């Protein structure tokens, strides 16, 4: 919404949320206190806030005044009832739709921005159309393809914008209206119009295909470790084939983030509910491979550290699910930590952008042990170099650029010997680390 406000000065954008604390942070005069860390975001908020970009808790007023309403609430995996662990929880979507239905007095375009299971638009439409006020609602699906850490860049230079809507004259008119917003800064041929169902499904499928690439290369990383092949050389060799392409072939400790796992589980659930067992199993394998990669990394750490990590100090460099974000949802680091804590390791975590509160909340959420036990075995530090004093091992779990700039000889001197580094991001130079004296493990290389 900040990017839309910045690119379309004549459009008034109001972002509303019932969470007062969050809206207060978005209105904070100190732009470093915005709730989300994203390169370039604070500059864009600063340019438009108070001019044509507003953050408010007055939801009803904003609904009443708007022509277009984007529903952008979260749709986490259900943790209860039917579809538990796989289906998307649409509680928040439904509450939004009911609120719009209650308040709206004139025609609105309602845009699904949240990632939703196929055919959710129908449910929204049915709620909206049964208000009995004679108001016409056009429902559009406009999934978001930005990646965290590069959000602003991705929005400004989007490969494509997808707009799904009904194939009626009114539906076409609504799609054109939304398209005209994006046409402020994107060429028209990158704005694709489809029917609602194609648009909703395409979002899930795009994420499934991307995650599948990571799981595919990660499966090969395990094979490379058993042979003399190097996973980077394999990625490069296959990526040069223009039909395969070079992006998203970096082997890692496993993908994380709020989207990949959730959306694939959702796809699996949808396929299964239509009786398409083989289709469901096929996509579920992407998740199974990702879980394997995380488990394999933790098990390798334990085996290398002479089959016991009990009482050993291990430092994590990185907790976020990727660099340049403070988001930790489904981050591989959480699961690696959990596995090592089960073996009674003592962990010290450093991440440049993630708070101590978030790290403990992530661990407590797993419910593997008591919060007290988590706090006894795991600590969080703001000093990455002091952290390694007398450490047995370091695990690099997020590819933050700053890790490459550290004085690794100094780090080596401070650690217990043999000093182990487990690089889950292929971030560091193997030859250099070997020369310093580290026992250096790089995922995807023997
Ligand atoms: C993803 C999609 O890219 C985006 O289009 C969609 O809108 C939301 O989901 P995001 O989750 O923000 O975006 O990050 P992404 O860059 O896709 O990375 C996801 C995970 O895969 C990260 O943990 C990342 O480290 C990992 N990854 C990515 C790899 O391990 N290797 C790769 O080559 C690429």
Residues 6+ apart with CB under 8 A from 265: 77, 85, 86, 87, 287
* CA angle in degrees (0–180, nearest 5) for 389-443-207: 115
CA proximity to 152, closest of 4, 15, 263, 323: 4
Residues 6+ apart with CB under 8 A from 229: 223
CA end-to-end distance (rounded Å), the chain: 46
Atom 31 of ligand 1, nearest CA residue: 250
Residue 132: the pLDDT is 66
Residue 409: the pLDDT is 98
As a three-state string, the secondary structure of 159-197 is: CCEEEECCCCHHHHHHHHHHHHHHCCCCCHHHEEEECHH
Residue 401: the pLDDT is 98
Residue 75: the pLDDT is 86
Q: How far is CA 42 from the centre of its chain?
A: 20
Active-site position among 38, 78, 259, 330:
259
Residue 441: the pLDDT is 98
Beta strands 191-194 and 313-317 are: unpaired
DSSP string, 255-317: --SSSHHHHHHHHHHHHHHTT-HHHHHHHHHHHHHHHHHHHHHHHHHHHHTTT--TT-EEEEE
User: Is residue 430 flagged as an active site residue?
Assistant: no
User: What 3-state class would DSSP assign to 56?
Assistant: strand
- Counting other chains too, the contacts that 23-30 makes at CB distance below 8 Å and 24 or more residues apart are 23/55, 23/56, 23/57, 26/55, 27/55
Pocket of ligand 1 (CB under 6 A): 144-148, 207, 210, 214, 248-250, 252, 255-257, 259-260, 321-322
pTM, rounded to two decimals: 0.94
Average pLDDT for runs of 10 along the chain of length 446: 97 97 97 93 97 98 97 90 89 93 94 88 88 87 95 97 96 98 98 95 96 98 97 98 97 96 95 97 98 98 98 98 95 98 98 97 97 98 98 98 98 98 98 98 96
Active-site position among 144, 225, 330, 399:
144
Beta strands 346-350 and 378-381 are: parallel
């Amino acid at each position: 919404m900040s990017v839309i406000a910045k690119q379309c000065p004549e459009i008034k954008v109001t972002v509303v949320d019932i969470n007062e604390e969050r809206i207060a942070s978005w209105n904070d005069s100190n732009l470093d206190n915005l709730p989300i860390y994203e390169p370039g975001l604070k500059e864009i908020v600063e340019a438009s806030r108070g001019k044509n970009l507003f953050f408010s808790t007055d939801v009803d007023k904003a609904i009443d005044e708007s022509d277009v309403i984007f529903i952008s609430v979260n749709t986490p995996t259900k943790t209860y009832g039917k579809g538990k662990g796989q289906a998307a929880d649409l509680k928040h979507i439904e509450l939004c739709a009911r609120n719009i239905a209650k308040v709206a007095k004139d025609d609105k375009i309602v845009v699904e921005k949240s990632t939703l299971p196929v055919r959710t638009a129908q449910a929204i439409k049915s709620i909206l159309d049964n208000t009995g006020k004679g108001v016409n609602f056009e429902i559009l699906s406009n999934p978001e393809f930005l990646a965290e850490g590069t959000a602003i860049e991705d929005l400004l230079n989007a490969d494509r914008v997808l707009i799904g809507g009904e194939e009626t004259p009114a539906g076409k008119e609504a799609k054109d209206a939304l398209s005209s917003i994006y046409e402020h800064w994107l060429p028209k041929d990158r704005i694709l119009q489809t029917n609602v169902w194609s648009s909703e499904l395409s979002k899930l499928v795009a994420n499934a295909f991307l995650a599948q690439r990571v799981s595919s290369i990660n499966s090969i990383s395990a094979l490379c470790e058993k042979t003399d092949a190097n996973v980077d050389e394999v990625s490069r060799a296959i990526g040069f084939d223009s039909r395969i392409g070079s992006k998203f072939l970096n082997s890692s400790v496993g993908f994380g983030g709020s989207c990949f796992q959730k959306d694939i589980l959702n796809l699996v659930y949808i396929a299964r509910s239509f009786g398409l067992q083989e289709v469901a199993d096929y996509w579920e394998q992407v998740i199974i491979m990702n879980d394997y990669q995380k488990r394999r990394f933790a098990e390798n750490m334990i085996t290398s550290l002479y089959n016991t990590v009990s009482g050993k100090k291990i430092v994590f460099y990185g907790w976020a699910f990727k660099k340049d974000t403070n988001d930790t949802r489904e981050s591989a680091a959480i699961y690696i930590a959990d596995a090592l804590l089960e073996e009674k390791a003592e962990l010290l975590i450093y991440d440049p952008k993630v708070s101590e509160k978030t790290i403990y909340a992530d661990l407590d959420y797993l419910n593997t042990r008591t919060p007290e036990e988590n706090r006894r075995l795991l600590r969080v530090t703001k000093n990455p170099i002091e952290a390694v004093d007398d450490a047995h091992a370091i695990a690099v779990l997020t590819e933050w650029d700053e890790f490459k700039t550290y004085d690794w000889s100094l780090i080596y001197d401070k650690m217990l010997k043999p000093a182990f580094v487990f690089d889950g991001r292929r971030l560091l130079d193997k030859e250099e680390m070997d020369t310093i004296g580290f026992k250096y493990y790089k995922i995807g290389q023997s």
